[in-house]
């Protein structure tokens, strides 16, 4: 059963306007797998689910990257080094490691980029087959962590809605091109639901696993409140079944989901 505990903020980074990455020290959270999250207490409000942007087991530090979209995330972004956070975690189902020698594509959109980087950091150095990354955002300034990917010797392909960096438009055409060239490949993606639905369709023909990490509002984070359910297979006469993003996910195989 998950329990609440305190973690110290060692460092605060500002990767883009209206974003902050809190680097926290915790022997508990370094047990996390990429794609998992922790639930952070914010004053007077529900906890906020934040995915891990990096997991540094050697230094017992993890990254929690937030975009300011409301009072809770603003409170988090205003924290300073030396302060403490009340968290639950690690929670949820993370990514499974990439399979064997299959070509591997990582796709991140907006604040879905951090868990994709965590996956690259965890498993990228072990890969002997081809590895590519596609990142998308509304505009150039919101393409977060690109320098982190480059430090891992990966030059990401970029897409922005306004064309300010890379391909003008969504990541989908870049994914479709990769899939056509790597039919035996595998894919991991995280981002807004419309992006994941389009990526799922684009990757339907891949021989390898397609893993999708959902972004979803949550109440309890531990499966009790049912506030984060999404439609899932199998679909029966009365419609789809439903699964909890906080415990059955956030990472699902594409064949488990109904978009």
pLDDT of residue 37: 97
Query: Is residue 257 pLDDT above 90, yes or no?
Result: yes
Same fold across 4-91 and 104-256? no
pLDDT mean over 213-241: 89
Report the chain's C-alpha Rg in angstroms.
18
pLDDT digits (tens, 9 = 90+) for 61-89: 999 999 999 999 999 999 999 999 999 99
pLDDT digits (tens, 9 = 90+) for 109-163: 999 999 999 999 999 887 767 999 999 999 999 999 999 999 999 999 999 999 9
pLDDT digits (tens, 9 = 90+) for 88-117: 999 999 999 999 889 999 999 999 999 999
Q: Are 230 and 152 in contact (CB under 8 A)?
A: no
Band (251; pLDDT cuts 50, 70, 90): very high
In this structure, which topology does domain 4-91 adopt according to CATH? Answer: Elongation Factor Tu (Ef-tu); domain 3 (2.40.30)
pLDDT mean over 177-191: 97
Domain range summary for the chain, segments of one domain joined by +: 4-91, 104-256
- Nearest one of 46, 55, 51, 38 to 3, comparing CA atoms: 38
Q: Are 210 and 254 in contact (CB under 8 A)?
A: yes
Q: Are 90 and 29 in contact (CB under 8 A)?
A: yes
Q: Are 160 and 136 in contact (CB under 8 A)?
A: yes
In this structure, which topology does domain 104-256 adopt according to CATH? Answer: Rossmann fold (3.40.50)
What share of the chain in percent tops pLDDT 70? Answer: 99
């Amino acid at each position: 059963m998950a329990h609440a505990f305190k973690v110290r903020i060692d460092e605060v980074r500002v990767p883009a306007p209206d974003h902050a990455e809190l680097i926290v020290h915790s022997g508990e959270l370094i047990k996390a797998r990429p794609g998992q999250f922790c639930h952070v207490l914010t004053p007077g409000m529900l906890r906020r689910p934040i995915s891990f942007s990096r997991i540094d087991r050697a230094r017992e530090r993890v990254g929690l990257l937030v975009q300011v979209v409301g009072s809770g995330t603003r409170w988090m972004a205003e924290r300073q080094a030396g302060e403490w956070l009340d968290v639950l975690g690690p929670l949820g189902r993370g990514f499974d490691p990439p399979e064997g020698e299959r070509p591997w594509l990582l796709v991140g959109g907006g604040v879905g980029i951090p868990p994709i980087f965590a996956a690259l950091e965890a498993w990228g150095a072990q890969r002997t087959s081809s590895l590519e990354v596609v990142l998308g955002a509304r505009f150039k300034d919101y393409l977060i962590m690109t320098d982190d990917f480059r430090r891992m010797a990966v030059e990401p392909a970029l897409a922005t809605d306004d064309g300010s960096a890379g391909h003008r438009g969504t990541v989908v055409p870049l994914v479709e091109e990769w899939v056509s060239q790597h039919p035996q490949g595998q894919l991991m993606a995280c981002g807004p639901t419309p992006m994941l639905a389009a990526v799922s369709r684009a990757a339907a023909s891949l021989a390898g696993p397609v893993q999708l990490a959902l972004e979803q509002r949550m109440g309890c984070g531990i499966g009790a409140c049912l506030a984060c359910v999404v439609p899932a297979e199998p679909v029966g006469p009365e419609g789809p079944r439903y699964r909890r993003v906080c415990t059955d996910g956030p990472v699902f195989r594409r064949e488990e989901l109904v978009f």
